[in-house]
């Protein structure tokens, strides 16, 4: 697998809560955060090891073999250090498509973060 992109940031919730948000983004008791664009689809959870890691299928039908790997670690103050890594078995993309796929930054470090009230 080839790494397309990776980023880590802290989220203001503990790892079990973030793990649940990633494995059940549309759970009834949770706040909505996974707002998909017209060219995206709901990811499938391919692997999950509570509360340490989650692997999603691709959000992009045009790239069905891509995967998003999440690693979660406890951080100071009851927070979570969340790292995502976008991987592909295919060839690398042109810069405009790569930038679009990296919008995971916004989904995770804005939308998901704000769903926790911060």
pTM: 0.91
Angle CA 31–34–40, to nearest 5? 160
Beta bridge partners of 2: 88
pLDDT over 90 (residue 83): yes
Largest CA distance in the chain: 40
Q: Judge whether residue 32 has pLDDT over 80.
A: yes
Domains identified in the chain and CATH numbers: 2-26+41-115 (3.30.530.20)
Percent of the chain's residues with pLDDT above 90: 63
The pLDDT confidence band at residue 99, using thresholds 50, 70 and 90, is low
Q: Is the pLDDT of residue 91 over 60?
A: yes
| Distance, C-alpha 11 to centroid of its chain | 12
Q: Report pLDDT digits (tens) over 55-76.
A: 999 998 988 999 999 999 999 9
Distance CA 50, CA 18 (A): 10
Lowest mean pLDDT among 50-54, 63-67, 89-93, 104-108: 89-93
Report pLDDT for 63: 84
């Amino acid at each position: 697998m080839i790494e397309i992109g990776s980023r880590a940031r802290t989220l203001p919730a503990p790892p079990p809560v973030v793990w649940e948000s990633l494995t059940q983004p549309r759970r009834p008791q949770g706040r909505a955060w996974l707002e998909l664009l017209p060219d995206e689809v709901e990811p499938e959870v391919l692997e999950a090891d509570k509360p340490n890691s989650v692997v999603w299928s691709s959000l992009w039908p045009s790239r069905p073999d891509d995967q998003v790997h999440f690693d979660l670690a406890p951080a100071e103050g009851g927070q979570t250090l969340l790292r995502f890594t976008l991987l592909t078995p295919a060839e690398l993309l042109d810069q405009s498509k790569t930038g679009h796929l990296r919008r995971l930054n916004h989904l995770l470090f804005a939308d998901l973060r704000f769903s926790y009230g911060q």
